[in-house]
Homo-oligomer: A and B are copies of this chain.
């Protein structure tokens, strides 16, 4: 057995302003003993997840999670193999869902690890359709969006990990689903592969007109996971009693796009249209994990629910992949195989 192991990890070197750049990150290489800490495990990362929320975590301001401090390892979900264990519940070879972030060979407390059965589905799905993004879509749409047959559901970032699941659950629940994505490849995908009723390209010059034409009966649910310009176009089309789950605002994380941090809703229209505008993050609905795994697992197994992964090889490509994600350049659930 090797005496030591080299852990490569990416830390936040400095807080970004707007879009992060390479110099906001640095790679650390640490030679550590090939051994588990007391009550914990030594892990080999098979996949780690890149998600838009991670940008928010880099800011100092108040957010729904504690801010990362400069020098800290970038946090996030991971799927790992246990190399060594000092906890009775885990043994070498086990595959676990962890939260060890951007590193190759992390150490972790056994608390907070969850075993994954590789026989049920590819283990990477624990970070995607059967993990946080899938559960974000499921809990936000069902609890706040409350879709009913015949209603019109509009989803932005519709080819992404959350948006693609939102739209497909909407279809399963009988909604007419209008997806918004960037570019012909993504719109083709959501219409032809995922079966959305309408796919719109937000880069089109007449996108606002297209959106209006695509929703002749107005909008009953808008799953807000983008912020900015799309919201400003959606707002006047909302029907009475429309629901707006607000799950994450990629554009606003960088303060770059149209609506920016000023994206808002007037209380007068909340009243007049009887709107329900509600923010959430997936952990708010942690109690629904079993329901989620049962339903989503069945939909994936039956082929009703499709998903797409965008796997980038090598931890050295992490930062450019992350910036691409924030710029909308990824296509499917973005994972790093370090």
Residues of A within 8 A of B (CB): 62-64, 224, 227, 231, 240-241, 246-249, 252, 261-268, 270-281, 284
Contact = CB atoms under 8 A, between A and B. Distances in A.
Nearest to A281: B274
A272 B240 contact: no
Contact of A272 (B64, B271, B274): B64
Contacts of A280: 274
Given A249-B267, A249-B268, A268-B263, A284 B274 contact: yes
Contact of A246 (B63, B241, B246, B267): B267
B268 A267 contact: no
Contacts of A274: 64, 278-281, 284
Top 10 A-B residue pairs of the complex, sorted by shortest distance between their CB atoms: A271-B279, A270-B279, A276-B278, A264-B264, A274-B279, A277-B277, A264-B266, A263-B267, A246-B271, A246-B270
A281 B278 CA distance: 18
Given A264-B266, A266-B261, A267-B264, A272 B63 contact: yes
Given A62-B272, A64-B271, A272-B62, A265 B247 contact: no
A261 B268 contact: yes
Main secondary structure of the interface of A (DSSP, over half): mixed
Contacts of A279: 267, 270-276
A224 to B, nearest CB: 7
A5 to B, nearest CB: 38
A83 B282 CA distance: 61
Contacts of A272: 62-64, 279
Contacts of A265: 264-265, 267, 277
A16 to B, nearest CB: 17
Contacts of A278: 270, 274-278
Given A271-B64, A271-B246, A280-B274, A263 B266 contact: yes
A263 B64 CA distance: 24
Contacts of A281: 271, 274
8 contacts: A227-B268, A247-B271, A261-B266, A264-B265, A270-B277, A274-B281, A275-B278, A276-B276
Contacts of A246: 267, 270-271
Contacts of A271: 64, 246-249, 279, 281
